[in-house]
Structure 1
Amino acid sequence: MIICCGEALIDMIPSATADARTGFVPHAGGAVFNTAIALGRLGHETGFVTGLSDDLFGQQLAAALDQSQVDYSHAIRSSLPTTLAFVELSEGQARYTFYDENTAGRSLSPTQLPDLPEAAQALYFGGISLISEPCAEFYAALAEREAQDRLIMIDPNIRASFVQDEARYRARLERMIAVADIVKVSDEDLDWIIGGDTGLDAKAGQLCAAGPHAVIVTRGAEGATAVLKSGAVLDAPAHPAQVVDTVGAGDTFNAGVLARLAQDGFLSKSRFPQIDANTLRNALVLGARVAAVTVSRAGANPPWAHEL
């Protein structure tokens, strides 16, 4: 089992109304939610840890998880509202405005850590849930507690404009990176984490030295690069696609990577350090295929296994 740990929210997607004004349609979303949905659709046993509201939007999220066969029995339920993210699209690129005060997801604290099933071999973390407090400390504490026995993958998916206390956020990321086995970042994320004019491969190697066995850097249409702790560097091309929008692209890339690692038997704490470059490249290739389907249609709508 792969357990995704992070935010579930409602993306309010702009849509033209009958009188030609712009309205917003609620879509189930959130970076980690999207990854969980994609993994479920790819046929992998998937769990989800989040703060889930019992309001109408929380019910929409729960229904979407059910439809994609994701187990959310370890979610922390409450009557607090669901986080809303209003999306602005410009030439297919998404910008977000979050409404996240006192929500079910944000209000999690380290005192609420759930007991996880023994079947969980890997935990995945990411998104704005690593920024907003107190939930960010909930997820950091969960990663630190589980890192000894389970593979940890992190995608910080950094939104610098959302960070209110940069020093605390950077310190938390350092703690989580130190216990991670895999860190996935975009090229922009990597430049934010490690400043200066050093090349991406060198920065990825520097991040790798801080803890993870592998750092994966996505570069949009230029594909992805992985740097291993051994110093090996490998590249995988992007998969061709007619882009409608990029909502959920990185999230579903991560699902493809995790799915292929699980398929090849390397999604465990003991096996992953033994991975070879070709096996990891195959995981990046599947990640690119899954992401290509997602960007070819509106919103975060990951493919089912039969669509690949």
Structure 2
Amino acid sequence: MILCAGESLIDMVPQDGAFRPLAGGSVYNTAIALGRLGEPTAYLWPISRDPFGEVLLRPLAEAGVNTDLCPRTDRLTTLALVTLTGGEARYSFYDEGSAGRMLAPADLPVLPGEIQALFAGGISLVPDPCGAAIEALVERDGARLPVMLDPNIRPFFITDADAYRARLSRLIARADIVKLSGDDLEWLHPDLPPEDAARRVLARGPRLVLQTGGAAGARAHWAGETVAAPAIRTAVADTIGAGDTFNAGVLASLRRQGVLSKAGLAAITADQIAAALTLGAQAAAVTVSRPGANPPWSHEMPALSP
């Protein structure tokens, strides 16, 4: 079972002069996508007892995601108020003292034995105490479990860039797989071209650094020659949740190929990496073909081979 640990929230999206509440969050989206692909998946993040908590739980249940590790709390759900300026989305977060924000290292549960991999990332890595909690989880369990990290860097959410860079540096050194977009790489290493920046991240310790570029496809940097996979051509409705779904496809493929373990990743081959990138791209292509973060179900995938 793959454990996804990180933020869920409610996006308040403008619609007809009002706001429509939609379940979201980078790590939450990946958990939903994994469940819809038929992967055994668990989720870890505090869920409020307020009405929005039920909005978050329903898609998880429908996707078959196990939420036994999610603590319930009377603190309120994080809200992200979305405003559109010239077609560009801007976010205002109502997050202070919220259910997820207040997750502390002392709140972390002991992970059950069936957890075989850990996925973490998103804005849950930024503020404390929740950022410290996710870092503590990776520190505690990353020695035995393979860890995939997608920081999904949002500069507008970062108030102390130096502290966040230091946290990311520690997490990257612990991670086995790191996924970074072109924007992520530019924020981490503004003085380097994307390929060189990805190699710099690889040198910190991960087995794989996955570099995504939308229509440019994805590349994997590892001990061997760079592996590339093209994006799947499709009519794009929007790109919300595309990277989150890509992560799910990669993890699903690695698990199906039997290499989602410390030993498996140490002995991974170029063909196995290519298969993982391809499934990630196939899943992401379905998501971008329809509005919002709406990952594919297994029956909507062109193939469910590794």
TM class by smaller structure = over 0.9
Give unpaired runs (5+ residues) of structure 1: 17-21
Counterparts of 1:141 and 1:205, CA distance in 2: 26
2:304 corresponds to? none
How much is the aligned-residue C-alpha RMSD, in angstroms?
1.4
| Partner SS state of residue 271, structure 1 | helix
CA-CA distance at 1:199 after TM superposition: 2.5
**1:19 is matched with which residue?**
none
Aligned residues: 301
Identity of aligned residues (%): 51
2:263 counterpart SS class: coil
User: Structure 1 residues 94 and 227 mapped into 2: Cα distance closer, same or farther (>3 Å)?
Assistant: farther
Q: Which amino acid aligns with 2:276?
A: A
**TM-score, normalised by the number of residues in structure 1:** 0.94
Of residues 249, 256, 265 in structure 1, which corresponds to 2:249? 256
Residue in structure 2 matched with residue 54 of structure 1 by the alignment: 49
Q: Distance in 1 between matches of 2:82 and 2:234?
A: 22
Structure 1 contact 93–246 (Cα < 8 Å) conserved: no
Alignment of 1:75 with 2:51, yes or no, is: no
Secondary structure of the corresponding residue to residue 26 of structure 1 = strand
Q: Secondary structure at the match of 2:262?
A: coil
1:205 aligns with 2:221: no
Is 1:108 matched up with 2:103? yes
Change (3 A) 1:91 1:223: farther
Q: Deviation digits for residues 210-259 of structure 1, max 9, x if unmatched?
A: 0101100101111111100x142111111112111111111011001101
Is the contact between residue 92 and residue 244 of structure 1 (CA under 8 Å) also seen in structure 2?
no
Partner of 2:180: 185
1:12 alignment partner AA:
M
Dislocated runs of 4+, deviation >6 Å: 90-93
How far residue 167 of structure 1 moved from its aligned partner, in angstroms, is: 1.3
**1:211-226 correspondence runs (5 A):** 211-226=205-220
User: For the residues of structure 2 that align with 1:50 and 1:93, how far apart are their CA atoms?
Assistant: 29
**Aligned equivalent of 1:15:** 15
Give the TM-score taking structure 2 as reference length: 0.95
Distance 1:115 1:306 in 2: 34
Secondary structure of 1:145 counterpart? helix
**Secondary structure in structure 2 of the residue aligned to 1:71:** coil
Unaligned runs of 5+ in 2: 302-306
State the alpha-carbon separation in 1 of the partners of residues 187 and 168 from structure 2: 12
Distance 2:150 2:83 in 1: 22
Conserved 8 A contact 2:147-2:176: yes
Structure 1 residue 88, shift from structure 2 partner: 4.0
2-structure distance, mates of 1:202, 1:173: 18
The question of whether the paired residues in 1 share the 8 Å contact of 2:29 and 2:245 is answered with yes
Secondary structure of 2:29 counterpart:
helix
Provide the residue aligned with 2:4 in structure 1: 4
Mapping for residues 17-166 of structure 1, pairs under 5 Å: 22-88=17-83, 94-166=89-161
1:237 paired with 2:218, answer no
Alpha-carbon shift at residue 34 of structure 1 (Å): 0.3
- 1:98-128: per-residue Cα shift (whole Å, max 9, x none)? 2111100000111111111111110000111
User: Residue in 1 aligned with 2:296?
Assistant: 303
1:97 positional shift: 2.5
Residue by residue over 1:50-105, the C-alpha shift from the partner in whole angstroms, topping out at 9 and shown as x without a partner, is 11111000111111211111001101221000011123457876443221111000
Does residue 290 of structure 2 align to residue 284 of structure 1?
Answer: no
